[in-house]
Structure formats: C-alpha cells, structure tokens
Amino acid sequence: MRSSHSGASRILVAAYGILALAALGRSIFQIITKFDQAPLAYVLSAVAALVYVVITVTLVVRTRAARVVTWVALVFELIGVLGVGTLSLVDPALFPHDTVWSLYGRGYVFIPLILPILGLWWMSRQGRSGGLVARASVITVGKFDGLHLGHMKLINDVVTIARDENLHSVVITFDRHPAEVVNPEGAPALLAHAAARNAALAAAGIDRVQELAFDENLSNLSPQEFVDQVLVSDLDARVIVVGTDFRFGHNAAGTVDTLRELGAQRGIRVVVADDVLIDGRRVSSSWVREALEAGDVPLATRLLGHTPRVIGEVVHGLKRGRELGFPTANLGRDARGFIPADGVYACWVHVDGTRYPASVSIGLNPTFNDVTHRSVEAFLIDVTLDLYGKVVEIEFLQRLRGMIAFPGIEPLIAQMNDDVAQCREILKAT
C-alpha cells in the first residue's frame, strides 16, 4: 500500500496546513494594520507562518531534499517555540502583543508546541520502521510476472548498482496486473503466483519488495505524481532502473524520456537496461504466454530461465482415474500460475519438500465428456500418496501429446500406460 500520505502523515499535513493559513493570515493583517504597535511580535508571527508553510509543502512533496528541509524546519520551529515562549514568560514587556509562539503557543491551544514534537517523532519513527528507508535506494518497478530473463536483467542491474554504490535494492511491484484495473477484459492470465516471485527476488539479492495495491487511485496518478508518490516517496531513491518500454502514470502517459526529465529535477539517475533478445525477439511475458498456450514448454523454460510451474490445493474430482487404475491428484479451480495448453505432460510434483515424478493431464476429458471446466490431474509415478487438501506445485518439463478422445476405455488405458512410460524416461533423464 502507499504510505506517503496516509495515517499520521495526512494528519500532520492537515494540521500544518491549517496552522499555516491561520498564522499567515493573522500576521499579514497585523503587519499591515498595526505593525508599529509591536513590530517584533508581528515579525515573529510572520516567521512562524512561513515555517508552517515550508513544512506543509515539504511534507507533501516528500523528495529527499524536501525531507532534509522538513527536519531543519521542524527543529527551527521547536527552538523558536521554546525560545519565544520562554522569553515571553521571563520578560513579557518584549511582547506587548502575542505572537504565534508566545507562551508556547497558548493562543493556539499549545498546538505550535505539540506539532514540532509530533513531527520530529514521526520523522524519526519513519526512518526506523522503513517508511523512510535509512539507506538510499536503487529501485525498479513492474509486475514482474513470471520473472523471465528480461525481468532478471533488470533485477541483476539493480543488485549490481546497489552493491557497487552501497545502496538499498528495492523492487516496487503490484498485487495484480495493472490491466485488471485499466482494461479488465484484456487482462492476461498471470504466469506465476506472488509468493514465488517474491522468494525469487529475495534469492536474487533484492533487499526489499514493496507490493502496492494497484487500484483506481493509483492508476489515475499523473506521471509526476507517480514519480513522487510511488518511486520517490519514502525510498530515498538515487537510481531508478527500467526497461526500454517502461510506461507509467495515468493512461501510461509517462515514457522513459519523461522519467529522465522528472528524475533530473529530483536528483535521481535513470538507468535503462538493455533488452534481452532470443532469436532476435525481445523476451516478454506475452511471449512466454504464447509458448505455454502452444504447449511449448522448452521454449517457455528458455524464456523464463526456469521451468514453468502451477500451484494449487488438491481437491476431490470425479475419481475417473482411480477407476481406470490411475488415481490422480486434481488441482482446484483456484490454482495459481499459467496452465499450459491441453494435453499430457511429464512433470515433477512438489509437496512437503519432496518432488515426485508424474504424468499430468490437462483438459476436458473428451473421452468421457463429463468435465465442465479444464482440469489439471497429476498421476504420481511409482508412488501412492494421499494428497487431498495438500498444496502441491507442478513443475512442467515436456508435453507428450495433445488431448484427444479415444473410442473406448481399453485404447485410453493403453495410451495412459504409454504416457507413464514416456514420462518415467523423460524424468529419469532430468
């Protein structure tokens, strides 16, 4: 979730904004109408008002430079309140008229004394808790669905820069594909589940994975707002690494050139990673989906840099396989990961830290024509396990054949025996 303008931050911004308007309006009126009566008091009130304006603005902007200014302004404000408040008690004659900070802000219900203390506490707390990363960061942003070779090029660049420049490596990602919000009908099926992605990012050396809720508010941010609120805020970004096709902001209006321009204004270096090409074509998540939709597991594996996988809970099915002598573990309809084309596959099934060889069938069971949705059924080879209710991960290695309707039970069983024999040999070789 975005934290830059939530909770205590919003309260502080609102409080300082209200105080800035009240103090500024009052001081301007006093200076214009009766400055000669108490020049010191009215000047100090104007100074206090300007400090409140500065703090309000820097709390909203939240760039690295703005955070430094916020710290300085808060300390100045606290010293001013304590100093003027003490002087107004010790020598009231110096202040024939009240200032904002007189008597520690008594005229404003002591809010001028309380606010800088709260502000300094909040700033220090953010630094400790991670809202403001103590170390400056190199970041990249994207869904990183499947973590294919192109994604890993970005990740490796981030990790390398972080190591070389003593920066914190950060990946900003999303809880869903952005298309699910901006174009629901055209949203692609995801290649992998978030837990696997985050584990792989950590294994690659990423220090922090920040997952944002991609909602309508986030999708409506302008490119500048996206940079300030997502890429810069709370991360102390020094370097941003993106791909050549990086787009951001409302209606994807921001380009790499836009990011360079905004980054230059904020003291942030933009690094554009080279595309990863295979056979002259740029590696992308859409190409991986094409390969899996065609059942081309070797190509998908080549693009991903790892085997494609699907994870899900084993549920009860029609028990047709058990009747045929091939009891299967059926994944529920909420399985996560991209299910490849219908057919039979040689796979590893991972459960409870152990992997088992399996023949996996995907499709509608056309021989019996009694399945209403695509099913994923795994027959474990040479082992019998009760997997009902367990979460298993299926790792696809090779497609044996497509899904076909057989003229009867005997031809089907003969083919299933042949499938198992082929899977056994393929998996033995790997």
Residue 25 CB burial class (10 angstroms; 0-12, 13-18, ≥19): exposed
Q: How many CA atoms within 13 Å lie on the side-chain side of 291?
A: 21
Give the angle subtended at the CA of 375 by the CAs of 369 and 377, to the nearest 5°. Answer: 110
Residue 129: its pLDDT value, please?
43
Answer yes or no: is pLDDT of 132 > 70: no
pLDDT at res. 318 = 63
> pLDDT grade, residue 286 (50/70/90)?
very high
- Tens of pLDDT, residue by residue over 231-241, are 877 677 899 99
Is the per-residue pLDDT at 361 higher than 90?
Answer: yes
Position 1 scores a pLDDT of 35
pLDDT the model gives residue 110: 85
pTM of the prediction?
Answer: 0.67
Given the DSSP bridges, would you call strands 343-351 and 354-363 parallel, antiparallel or unpaired? Answer: antiparallel
Q: 140-164: per-residue pLDDT in tens?
A: 999 999 999 999 999 999 999 999 9
Listed residue (89, 18, 95) closest to 52, CA to CA: 18
Range in 34-43, 156-165, 345-354 with the lowest mean pLDDT: 34-43
State percent of the chain over pLDDT 70: 88
Closest of 317, 393, 397, 306 to residue 352, by C-alpha: 393
Q: Please report, for residues 83, 131, 191, the alpha-carbon distance to residue 7 in angstroms, rounded to integers and kept in the order given.
A: 30, 12, 35
Chain centre distance of CA 419:
41
pLDDT score for 11: 79
Domain ranges of the chain: 8-129, 137-278, 307-429
Task: Give catalytic residue positions.
Answer: 377
| CA distance linking residue 366 with residue 388, whole number of Å | 25
Q: What is the pLDDT of residue 125?
A: 65
Q: What pLDDT is attached to residue 331?
A: 92
Look at residue 322 and tell me whether its pLDDT is greater than 60: yes
Give yes or no on whether 137-278 and 307-429 have one common fold.
no
Kindly state the average pLDDT of the residues 293-318. Answer: 93
pLDDT (0 to 100) of residue 9: 64
Q: What is the CATH number of domain 307-429?
A: 2.40.30.30
Taking residue 396's Cβ as centre, other Cβ atoms within 10 Å add up to 25
Give the rounded percent of residues in the chain with a pLDDT score beyond 90.
44
Tell me which range, 37-51, 125-139, 221-235, 414-428, is most confidently predicted by mean pLDDT.
414-428
- Which token pair is 95? 């202040």
Give the 3-state DSSP-derived string for the chain, with helices as H, strands as E and coil as C.
CCCCCCCHHHHHHHHHHHHHHHHHHHHHHHHHHHHHHCHHHHHHHHHHHHHHHHHHHHHHHCCHHHHHHHHHHHHHHHHHHHHHHHHHHHCHHHCCCCCCCHHHCHHHCCHHHHHHHHHHHHHHHHHHHCCCCCCCEEEEECCCCCCCHHHHHHHHHHHHHHHHHCCEEEEEEECCCCHHHHCHHHCCCCCCCHHHHHHHHHHCCCCEEEEECCCHHHHCCCHHHHHHHHHHCCCCEEEEEECCCCCECHHHCECHHHHHHHHHHCCCEEEECCCCEECCEECCHHHHHHHHHCCCHHHHHHHHCCCCEEEEEEECCCCHHHHHCCCCEEECCCCECCCCCCEEEEEEEEECCEEEEEEEEEECCCCCCCCCCCEEEEEECCCCCCCCCCEEEEEEEEEEECCCCCCCHHHHHHHHHHHHHHHHHHHHHC
Summarize pLDDT for 243-261 with one digit per residue, the tens: 999 999 998 899 999 999 9
What's the whole-number mean pLDDT along residues 26-46? Answer: 73
> 137-278 in CATH: which number?
3.40.50.620
Q: What is the pLDDT of residue 8?
A: 59
Confidence of residue 134 (pLDDT cuts 50, 70, 90): very low
Q: Which amino acid is at 137?
A: S
CA distance 292 to 214: 26
Note the pLDDT of residue 92: 80
